[in-house]
Amino acid sequence: MNILTSDWEVTTSNKGSPFDLKNKAVCLAYKQNFLDSHCIFNVQQDYIQTYISKADLLVFFNAKFDLHWYHRNGFTTDVPVWCCQLAEFFLSRQTIPYPSLEETAIKYGLGVKYDVVKLEYWDKGIDTDQIPRPILSKYAIQDVELTYKIYLRQVEEFKKLPAMYKLFRLACQDLRFLEEMEWNGLPYDVDLCNKRTQEIQTKIDEILKTLNQVYPDIPINFNSGDQLSAFLYGGSIFVEIKQLVGKYKTGKKTGQDKYTKVITEKILPQLIKPLPGSELQKEGYYKTDVNMLQKLKGKAATKFVGPLLELSKLEKLISTYYEGLPKRAEEYGWNPGILHGQFNQCVAVSGRLSSSKPNQQNFAEDILDIFPSRYQ
């Protein structure tokens, strides 16, 4: 069987994300079967594509990452893959999320990684394209050598576990589809997000205006568990105010009023009786999470809990979605209007698929219309 093991070294913005437009590929290390490894810096597509096309199996440590970089550089990789990281997750019985190359190499007695690149360059803020080529080449080649040796050891481990091996090979097939899903990304409407933010902020302002009328002279942060507890169940709120202490006698502010910050305690009466068992360790304070608020009964609860729950929902829609998604896209350097969330096979102990950054398996129903179809 013709096995091609490879590993991309790339610049490091957002951990080398292939979707961060600031990143670029620096070099590619590869190894064909048991032959010597090589590292090339000016990657010629036709040259490497020939190796890929002749391969029966592509071996990576973190397959999705490297497949993304092949994808970004215009390669076709329609060959079965072996992800050593995913294999190790299976072999650990899903107890080690995202096993690292070094941890896995040590487990099999294969030594440790060549750490000069990390310690002397990356940790000091020197990016990959600024590392001397002989040093980076040595680092990349060792990664490929370790990955190939790990692959050989994992093959032997799976021989003892034929049922698990079948499940792992199925997961590697899934990996190819997940890579494509991540690469294509999820389109979303940035303009609609901005419009919704403005609409919802208006509703939030109206709710806050109503709630603040209860204690018009006391500023209450309804996102603070302590302050919300005091508002509902009674208790102390500590407010920072400016207190006049005189006038400036010198300097540019001579003659102007001089203030100091003073913390004052405001004691609020009880509006709603707290439920038994809702006490917090902090004396005098009670739970204010959504589940607890939904259990409150009575006229006062009807008056205040509804607006508070609506406030919490609306603020989450803005912070997590309508402002949160465009902000994440900007921070991660993605193309505008596209989300490149992760689908994780090496996290959940149960072995189920999870999603993160953002969690695309758990979007609120309210926001689904911001995702237009590519096929309209």
Most confident of 29-43, 57-71, 297-311, 343-357: 57-71
**Rounded to an integer, what distance in angstroms lies between the CA atom of residue 143 and that of residue 159?**
25
Tell me what pLDDT residue 115 has: 85
Average pLDDT over residues 154-165: 98
Tell me what pLDDT residue 274 has: 92
Q: Are 49 and 76 in contact (CB under 8 A)?
A: yes
At 255-308, the pLDDT tens digits run 888 888 888 899 999 999 999 999 999 999 999 999 999 999 888 888 999 999
Give the predicted TM-score (pTM) of the model.
0.86
Decide if pLDDT at 250 tops 90.
no
Which of the four pLDDT bands, split at 50, 70 and 90, describes residue 244? confident
Decide if pLDDT at 376 tops 80.
no
Tell me what pLDDT residue 375 has: 82
At 308-328, the pLDDT tens digits run 999 999 999 999 999 999 999
Tell me what pLDDT residue 248 has: 87
At 198-219, the pLDDT tens digits run 999 999 999 999 999 999 989 9
What type of residue is 370?
I
User: Which residues, other chains included, contact 242 with Cβ-Cβ below 8 Å and sequence gap of 6+?
Assistant: 259, 260, 261, 262
Tell me what pLDDT residue 42 has: 87
Bridge partners (DSSP) of residue 40 are 28
**Rounded to an integer, what distance in angstroms lies between the CA atom of residue 52 and that of residue 2?**
10
Tell me what pLDDT residue 299 has: 86
Most confident of 31-45, 59-73, 276-290: 59-73
Which of the four pLDDT bands, split at 50, 70 and 90, describes residue 240? confident
* Residue 353 main-chain phi, psi, to 5 deg: -75, 140
Mean pLDDT estimate for the chain: 94
Tell me what pLDDT residue 252 has: 85
CB neighbours of residue 158 within 10 Å: 18
Tell me what pLDDT residue 241 has: 81
**Rounded to an integer, what distance in angstroms lies between the CA atom of residue 114 and that of residue 121?**
12
**Rounded to an integer, what distance in angstroms lies between the CA atom of residue 95 and that of residue 97?**
6
CATH of domain 3-184: 3.30.420.10
At 177-201, the pLDDT tens digits run 999 999 999 999 999 999 999 999 9
What type of residue is 216?
P
